[in-house]
A and B are shown apart, each in its own frame.
Chain A
């Protein structure tokens, strides 16, 4: 019963490096989201997708790009990592807009 799976769980990067975080859901959900959580803060929306092939900016999109080539996958990319992007990243999905979102267990990313 996988639900929402995030890969990797931990990663350390150097400033300027690039990487892609993968989110996969097996619930056939239309909507997918990427959030970041910083210490003492709530979750803030980075980007989201309302269906395969669509993406849109959230509250804090700068420095990130996303793609949703397949319905079950939502990728978050950092082209040139900065220390300010050190955070825990959560992916979420839901089937209909009024349904609760299901979250993955997060990716802890440190940028030195």
Chain B
């Protein structure tokens, strides 16, 4: 059963507008959440993260919001640019697990049109 869910396989946004990518999780023990961006034929690259003790983290155009009661996080990109077109993966980490590997969602493909 999926512990990290990205229910929207794709999202289309116009350049300059806001992109909002959503992620839901089922395990309340997750303590650290990350967003990765992936271009075709490349590996995922780290974008932004948030600890479960926070509800918001901001880095330039990217902001991640965490709602622990709803077990929901979202990534906001403002303003969106054509270069942001990529697959975005949400990932979560469970504490206490040796190696602390990440559990990934299936990804959301973002297309930003100019």
Interfacial residues, chain A to chain B (CB-CB below 8 A) = 4, 31, 33, 35, 40-45, 48-50, 56, 58, 90, 92, 97-98, 100-106
Contact B104 A106 (CB under 8 A): no
- The A-contacting residues of B in range 82-109, CB under 8 angstroms, are 89, 91, 93, 98-107
> Which residues of A sit under 8 angstroms from B99, Cβ to Cβ?
31, 33, 48-50, 56, 97
Question: Is B32 located at the chain interface by the 8 A CB criterion?
Answer: yes
Contact B43 A100 (CB under 8 A): no
Contact B105 A100 (CB under 8 A): no
Please indicate which of the listed interface residues A35, A43, A50, A56 has the most CB atoms of chain B within 10 Å of its own CB. A43
The 7 closest A-B pairs by CB, nearest first: A42-B104, A103-B43, A100-B46, A97-B100, A48-B99, A43-B104, A45-B101
Nearest CB of chain A from residue B39's CB, rounded to whole Å? 10
> Which residues of A sit under 8 angstroms from B98, Cβ to Cβ?
50, 56
How many residues does chain B have at the interface if contact means C-beta atoms less than 8 Å apart?
26
Point out the residue from B32, B34, B93, B106 that lies within 8 Å of A42, measured CB to CB.
B106
Can you name 13 extra interface pairs (CB under 8 A) apart from A92-B43, A97-B99?
A: A4-B43, A40-B106, A42-B103, A42-B104, A43-B104, A50-B99, A56-B98, A90-B43, A100-B46, A102-B46, A103-B43, A104-B43, A106-B43
